[in-house]
A and B are shown apart, each in its own frame.
Chain A
Amino acid sequence: MTSRLDRYSTYAALGLFSALAIYPLISILFLAFHKKTDNVTGFSLPTTISLHTFTAAWTEGGFAKGMWGSFLVAGSVTAVAAALSLLTGYALGTMRFRGSGLWFNLLVLGLIFRP
C-alpha cells in the first residue's frame, strides 16, 4: 500500500504536467474568441465571446475548401497505402522465400526518408 503523501505528490506532478500540456491549446482558443480589434495582452480572458473569427475562417480563409482537400488526400492515401501494404505484409508475414529479410529491411529503410 502506498502512502497518502506518495499519492498526493503523484497527483500534483500529473496535474502540473497536464496543465502545461493543455495551456497552449487553451490560450489559442481564447485568442480565437477575441475580436480582431482587441489588443490582447497577457493571459487575459475574453470578456465577450466573439465568434466572428470562426465565421471569417470559413468565408475569408476558405476553411471548407481546405478541409475537403485534406479529406480527399487523407482518404486516397490511406486506401492506396492500405492496399499496397496489405499485399506486402501478407507475403512477408506468412510466406518463406529467398531474400525475405532483405526485402523487409529495404522497405523499413524508407521510414527514415519520410519528411
Chain B
Amino acid sequence: MTEASREAAPASTRGRPAAGRPRRVTGRAPGEPHRIAYLFLLPGLVAYVVFTLFPVAQTVRLSFYDWDGITSKTWHGLGNYRELFDSTEIRAAFGHSVELILFYAVFSLAIGLFLTALMMHSHVRGLRFFRTVLFMPQTIATVVVAQAFTWIYDPSGPLDAFLRSVGARSFAKVWLGDFTWALPAVGLIGTWISFGLVLILLLAGAQRIPQELYEAARVDGAGFVREFFAVTLPGIRNELLVAATLTTITALRNFDIVYNTTSGGPAGKTEVPSWLMFHDAFEIHRVGLAAAIATVLTAVISLVALGISRFYTEARQ
C-alpha cells in the first residue's frame, strides 16, 4: 500500500493513536509528490512503449539473427556486426553520410548565418516576404523535391542548359550519374531543403537581441563582420545549437532524397546507411543485417546529437 493512501484513510489504521496528534512534518508541500501524475503519464507512456520502444528493442534483437524475413530465424551472434564493419560497401555508406553532413548542416548553417547577419545589419523592407519564400523548400514533400531536382540535374534539364549557354560546355554532365558528382549533387538538394529552416530558427533568435546592442556596436565603429561576431553570433547560440542538431540528424538519416533520385547509384556512390537498411531488409531479404545497420545508425545519431550539445555547453563556460 502506498503512503498516500495510508494518509488518506486514517480510519482504517485502527489501534494507532491518531486522534489529536499533529500531522507528521515531512518537509514537503501538501499533496506532494503528486502520485496522480503517474496516472497522467500512463496512456502516453503505453503508446510510446508499444509504438517506439518495443520496435526499437525488436530491431536490436533481430540484429543478432540471420533471417530472410520469411523462414525461421537462426541465431547469428555478432555475425551481422562483424559483416557490417568488414564490408567496404557499408563502411562507404557511413562515409557518404558524413559527407552529406557537410551539405545538409555546414553549408546550410553558413548560408543561414550569412543571411541572418545581412538581415540584422541593414533593415530591409519585405522581411516577411523573404522569410516566407526562403522557408518554402521546407514545406514541400521530399518526393516532389527529388522529382524537381532529378529534372534540374537531367542532361536535357535547366542546369546543363544554363552551363552550355554561359560557355561552360565542358562542365555540363549527367550530374546524378557521375561518379564524383552524384553525391555532391544529392547533398546540394539537402542544402536547398535545410537552409530555409536554419534561417527561420536563427532569425527568430536574432530578433530577440536588444536593438541597443546593435546601436552600441555601431557607435563603437563596428563594421558588418565585427557586429556579426560581437552581437549577432553570441545572441543566437541556442538557436544555432538546435539548427545544427536538426540538420545533422537529417543528414545522417537521409533516405527519401537518395531513394527518389539515384537509388544509391551510380555503382553505390550515393548509398547511405538508411538506404542500405531498406535495401537489405526489403529487396535482398537480409533482415538481420539491416537491423544491425539500423542499430549502429541509431547509436551514431545519438552520439552525434549528444556530442553537439556537449560541445555547446563547454563552449558557453
Q: Is the CB of A84 within 8 A of B47?
A: yes
Q: Is the CB of A27 within 8 A of B152?
A: yes
Main secondary structure of the interface of A (DSSP, over half): helix
Q: Is the CB of B32 within 8 A of A96?
A: yes
Residues of B within 8 A of A40 (CB): 156
Residues of A within 8 A of B (CB): 2-3, 6-7, 9-11, 13-14, 17-18, 20-25, 27-28, 31, 40-43, 80, 83-85, 87-88, 90-92, 95-98, 100, 103, 106-107, 110, 112-113, 115
| Number of cross-chain contacts by CB at 8 Å | 132
Residues of A within 8 A of B235 (CB): none
Distance, CA A87 to CA B292, complexed state (A): 35
Residues of A within 8 A of B133 (CB): 18, 21-22
> On chain B, which size bracket covers the interface?
35 or more
Q: Is the CB of A21 within 8 A of B136?
A: yes
Q: Using A21-B137, A24-B148 as known contacts, say yes or no to A85 and B157 having CB atoms under 8 A apart.
A: no
Chain A CB within 10 A, most for which of B44, B121, B301: B44
Residues of B within 8 A of A (CB): 32-38, 40-41, 43-45, 47-48, 52-53, 56, 111, 114-115, 118-119, 121-124, 130, 133-134, 136-137, 140, 144-145, 147-149, 151-152, 156-158, 161-162, 192, 195-196, 224, 249, 253, 255, 298, 301-302, 305
Q: Using A21-B192, A96-B32, A112-B249 as known contacts, say yes or no to A41 and B56 having CB atoms under 8 A apart.
A: no
Main secondary structure of the interface of B (DSSP, over half): helix
* Nearest chain A residue, comparing its CB with the CB of B294: A113
Q: Is the CB of A27 within 8 A of B151?
A: yes
Looking at the assembled complex, report how far the CB atom of A5 sits from the nearest CB atom of chain B, in whole angstroms. Answer: 9
- Can you name 14 A-B pairs with beta carbons within 8 Å? A2-B121, A21-B192, A22-B133, A41-B156, A43-B162, A83-B43, A84-B44, A87-B40, A88-B43, A91-B40, A92-B37, A95-B34, A107-B45, A112-B301
Distance, CA A100 to CA B32, complexed state (A): 13
